[in-house]
Structure 1
Amino acid sequence: MVEDLVTGAVGAFAYSAIGIALMVFGYFIVDWLTPGKLGKQIWSDRNTNAAILLASNTIGVGLIVVGAIWASEGDLLEGVVSTAIYGLIGLAAMTVAFLVMDWLTPGKLGEIVVSEEIQPAVWVNAAMHLALGGVIAMALS
């Protein structure tokens, strides 16, 4: 019982550390894709569009981490490695989706995200982030 508790605690720590690292990396990607400083946009300027986009990115990464844990079937090393690999694939896919949508639609999506008015395009991009997180999480199974 103690061994199971220790193994579970190590797993929880390892998955949390990788999940946090991926979410921080995702933050920097969204910051890079949008004009200005993302932290200022969300916490100082209270920009809903930027918050929606970052939240969807974070939830998408969370879905991938959950999928990796589920697919690992108790193999901690395999789970941690697959979480890192698939998490990076997910972030790359979300970045490409953002850039493709930016290319296909009028205006610059990054500028739309930092608009003070709530923008429907941000919700569409957020849905893509969530869908991609789900797709990649299912690819693990």
Structure 2
Amino acid sequence: MSDIVNGLGRTSAYGALGVVLLILGIVLVDLLTPGKLGRLIWADRNRNAAILLSSALLGTGGIVFTSIWTTYDDFGKGLLSTAAFGLLGLVMMAVAFLVVDLVTPGKLGGILVDPEPHPAVWVTASCNIAVSAIVSASIA
């Protein structure tokens, strides 16, 4: 029975950490794009903003999953490494966003929240997934 209770505690800790990292990802995307992300997606039904945020959440989730899957036997060390890799992934996705913004015409944040569908959102979303895959592969 103590194994179950111990497992529930560890799962709760990793789950809480994962939720915190996802929230940080939402905040980061909100900071990188103009307007309020919640309003853009839920009130204005902006597909561009939804795709961009979804890719960041999927990428962050992939990094957290990989980090937990390959975690250390030491619970504290595993939790810390998951937090570190998750934060690194968020930073790297933000840097990739800024680099794409620098090398493409226009202001990327504005393009990505435009109500009209834009192909740049798919490029940026793919960049998020690619960066998270690279971080995930480096964990294993």
Report what 1:31 is aligned to. Answer: 30
Q: TM-score if structure 2 supplies the norm length?
A: 0.95
Aligned-pair distance for 1:16? 0.9
What is the aligned length? 140
Aligned pairs (5 A) from 1:1-141? 2-141=1-140
Aligned-pair distance for 1:114? 1.0
Letter of the 1:36 partner, please give it: G
What is the distance in 1 between the residues matched to 2:59 and 2:52? 11
**Residues 59-93 of structure 1: CA distance to partner in whole angstroms, max 9, x if unpaired?**
11101111111111543222211110001100000
Change over 3 Å in CA distance of 1:74–1:3 after alignment to 2: farther
Aligned-pair distance for 1:123? 0.7
What is the distance in 1 between the residues matched to 2:112 and 2:75? 38
Aligned-pair distance for 1:131? 1.3
Q: Aligned-residue CA RMSD in angstroms?
A: 1.0
> Which runs of no fewer than 5 residues in structure 1 stay unpaired?
none
What is the distance in 1 between the residues matched to 2:73 and 2:58? 23
What is the distance in 2 between the residues matched to 1:131 and 1:68? 16
Aligned-pair distance for 1:3? 2.2
**Residues 46-69 of structure 1: CA distance to partner in whole angstroms, max 9, x if unpaired?**
000000011110011101111111
